[in-house]
Amino acid sequence: MKPGEVLIVSLGLPPPRLVGDVAAALREVLAVAARTGPSLERPGYAFNEGRSQYHTAAILRRLGGFRARGAPVLGVADFDLFVPDAPFVIGDADRDAGTAIFSLSRLGHADPDRVRRRAQVEAVHEMGHLLGLAHCADYRCAMFLTREAADADRKGPGLCASCRTALGL
């Protein structure tokens, strides 16, 4: 069942305007109201010194504490993320916990409009996971796996017909 809203939590110092652009994409693409929540410092508890990255599982567990009235939580981070089996990840989601996160650190570009679009694409992607969508084979769909920033450029913030149908949109 689709939630009525999502809470967006800033981690580190993502630009506030960019967080607003993420909220707008969630409303437009997924028809989910997005509410901006607290801004948090970089999560020292999740930092892995050997990798100089932040472990997503630890962050997702903490974000669960911000769930109110069953609304999922989406974290927007300005630092590099990892899961143990990969050198890095752009984002991660825990559907059971209702939490997701994505990072801007590997989405940077000299063109702020490109960064905005990449952030919107990845926000829709992670929220799509929370709504029950898996990765999509259509490279133009927001649910296509992003391995690098060029993947986010290739796909759009929108969903393909199959993913829209799966969500009843």
Closest residue by Cα to residue 124 from 16, 20, 29, 2: 29
Closest Cα partner for 102 from 168, 5, 6?
Answer: 6
Q: What is the DSSP letter of 64?
A: G
- Which CA distances in Å does 27 have to 24, 90, 120, 130? 5, 21, 11, 15
Q: How does DSSP classify residue 68?
A: -
HSE-CB at 94 with a 13 A cutoff on CA atoms is 17
Residues 6 or more apart in contact with residue 16 via CB below 8 angstroms: 10
- Selecting among 28, 41, 126, 148, the annotated active-site residue is 126
Does the annotation count 41 as an active-site position?
no
- 3-state DSSP assignment of residue 76: strand
- The helix or strand, by DSSP H or E, that contains position 40, with its residue range, turns out to be strand 33-40
Residues annotated as catalytic (active site), given as ranges: 126
